[in-house]
Amino acid sequence: MIAILPWHESALTTLIQRGDKLPHALLIHGKSGIGKVEFAMALAQSLLCESPTASGIACGECNACGWFQQSNHPDFRMLLPEAMADEEGADDAAEPEAKAEAKDKKKSKEIKIDQIRAIGDFMTLSTHRNGFRVLLIQPAEALNPAAANALLKTLEEPAARTLILMVTDKLGRLLATIRSRCQRVLVPSPDIAMATTWLTSQNIENADDALAEANGGPLDAVAYADRDYQALQRAFVAALSEPKMDYVEAAQHFEKADLTTLITWLQTYVNDIISERMVGGVSHHPRQVKAIKRIAAHIDLARVFRFESELRKTRRLINHPLNARLLLEQLLIGYRQAIKSTQ
């Protein structure tokens, strides 16, 4: 049998048992770090399995499960941005033509129209195993406008026993026409007790702190446990806590780090400052409580709220070509101005 995250079990078996009554497209969404892709993969494997358990979960032992686990199942495809496929080595299920073309191109953070066109035969020809055909697109918000519009025809006229799984934690970034053609599935989040118990079983030390820093996402907490990641995160947060931070030097020091990750740390740090000022407590950076209390005591709350809004807008531009160092400088200047003491 395949390993299923404990907080997924009920929702997953409910979907699997719908069988042929499943809609042709599911929009799988929920907060970051709770395993939405793992949920979608477990669903796909279970529907393609040829000897499922009594509850419908994949057996993990039949030929179909073996092919799936080796990214070779003929009736399964995954679409993701070239840059992500390159990082994760997860493009094995992509069309051969698309992989060959990607070698000579700069890796994109978007899912492009050529990738949608490349799966045309897969979506229209007969299945190889006379069962389901499953297409997984993740993250769905990475579809650029041309790709999203090209996908609409497939969503409107799906072949029989075809299931399109679209995974996102940013529903608002999807075209309304895409959202309207999919049935939404909200992946459940674990409560704190379940999440910390699971993290402990994964040999994660200080599970409570790790979960807080990951904003309640246990899979993110596992990733955050990496020593290099922790060292980078602590150095960046320490810079934010420094009363006389040199934003130019900081931008230069962190410019090679993942920009999305840096913005997330900055955003959660700002949210902790707001939380401390308003209700007296932090959620994301418990190790920096003393510094956060000091900053929160003298801020103009409205100014900090405006900066937090600008951060959210910046996240929407993250997949576009950007000069990381200049953008980081701009954000750190904005941060320093936002937390400037009113005294």
Going from N- to C-terminal start, the domains of the chain cover 6-186, 226-338
Give the integer Cα–Cα distance in Å for 138 and 165. Answer: 8
Q: Distance (Å, rounded) from C-alpha 166 to C-alpha 163?
A: 10
Give residue-wise pLDDT tens across range 26-70: 999 999 899 999 999 999 999 999 999 999 999 999 999 999 999
> What pLDDT band is residue 188 in, cutting at 50, 70 and 90?
very high
**Given a cut of 80, is residue 175 above it in pLDDT?**
yes
Which pTM value belongs to this model? Answer: 0.76
Section 335-341 average pLDDT: 91
11 CB contacts (<8 Å, ≥6 apart)? 39, 185, 187, 188
User: How many residues does the structure list for the chain?
Assistant: 343
Q: How many CB atoms lie within 10 A of CB 287?
A: 17
Containing 133, the helix (H) or strand (E) segment is strand 133-137
Taking phi first (over 0 means left), then psi (-120 to 50 degrees means alpha), and beta for anything else, what does residue 63 get?
alpha
Pairing outcome for strands 162-168 and 183-186:
unpaired
Q: What is the mean pLDDT of the chain?
A: 88
Q: For residues 144 and 181, is the Cβ–Cβ distance under 8 A?
A: no
Name the helix (H) or strand (E) containing 330: helix 324-338
CA 105 to chain centre: 24
Q: Which CATH superfamily is domain 6-186 in?
A: P-loop containing nucleotide triphosphate hydrolases (3.40.50.300)
CATH for the stretch 226-338: 1.20.272.10
- The b-or-e profile of 162-183 (16+ CB within 10 A means b, else e) is bbbbbbbbeeeebbeebbebbe
Using CB atoms within 10 Å of the CB of residue 21, give its burial: 0 to 12 exposed, 13 to 18 middle, 19+ buried. Answer: exposed
Of the listed ranges 25-34, 70-79, 88-97, 151-160, the least confidently predicted one is 88-97
Q: Is residue 92 over pLDDT 70?
A: no
Six-digit token pair at 325? 């160092």
pLDDT at 247 over 50: yes
Place of tokens 């995160």: 233
Residue 108: alpha-carbon gap to chain centroid:
16
250-293 tens-digit pLDDT: 988 998 888 888 998 999 999 999 999 999 988 888 889 999 99
Q: Is 70 exposed, middle or buried (0-12, 13-18, 19+ CB in 10 A)?
A: exposed
Q: Is 328 exposed, middle or buried (0-12, 13-18, 19+ CB in 10 A)?
A: buried
Checking if the pLDDT of 90 tops 70, the result is no
Q: What per-residue confidence (pLDDT) applies to 28?
A: 97
